[in-house]
């Protein structure tokens, strides 16, 4: 399973910022104002956040990147590099970042 870039970025933001902030806010307000089910709500938020983190981790490990940079170091005088893109070249200028897998042919 691999999320599309935008989906991954949104889910990552939710997992890193929104859910922990919401859980902390509810825990504090439940203690101060006596909101019901403080432990249950916060426990649920933490469980959902952990599950989302696992899904994001699986997606990241399966992500092939925008291309592969192959390095051949067998010639002692120079290294040879080959870049194979998984995206159209004309899309490169509009991207904020590009991710490549690096493969060492001589290893």
What confidence score (pLDDT) does residue 82 get? 95
- At 61, the pLDDT band (50, 70, 90 cuts) reads confident
Q: How many residues does the chain have?
A: 107
- Give me the percent of the chain exceeding a pLDDT of 90: 74
pLDDT for 106 beyond 80: no
Question: pLDDT for 73-89, tens place per residue?
Answer: 999 999 999 999 999 99
Looking at residue 75, the DSSP 8-state letter turns out to be S
Sign of the alpha-carbon torsion through 48, 53, 54, 56: positive
Looking at residue 86, the DSSP 8-state letter turns out to be S
Residue 37: count other Cβ atoms within 10 Å of its Cβ: 11
Overall pTM surpassing 0.85 (yes/no): no
CB 1 within 8 A of CB 11: no
What confidence score (pLDDT) does residue 107 get? 60
């Amino acid at each position: 399973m691999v999320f599309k870039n935008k989906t991954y970025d949104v889910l990552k933001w939710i997992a890193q910022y929104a859910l922990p902030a919401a859980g902390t806010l509810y825990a504090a307000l439940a203690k101060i104002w006596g909101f019901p089910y403080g432990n249950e709500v916060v426990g649920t938020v933490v469980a959902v956040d952990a599950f989302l983190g696992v899904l994001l981790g699986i997606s990241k490990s399966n992500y092939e990147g925008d291309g592969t940079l192959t390095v051949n170091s067998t010639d002692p005088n120079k290294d040879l590099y080959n870049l194979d893109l998984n995206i159209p070249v004309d899309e490169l200028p509009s991207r904020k970042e590009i991710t490549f897998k690096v493969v060492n042919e001589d290893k």
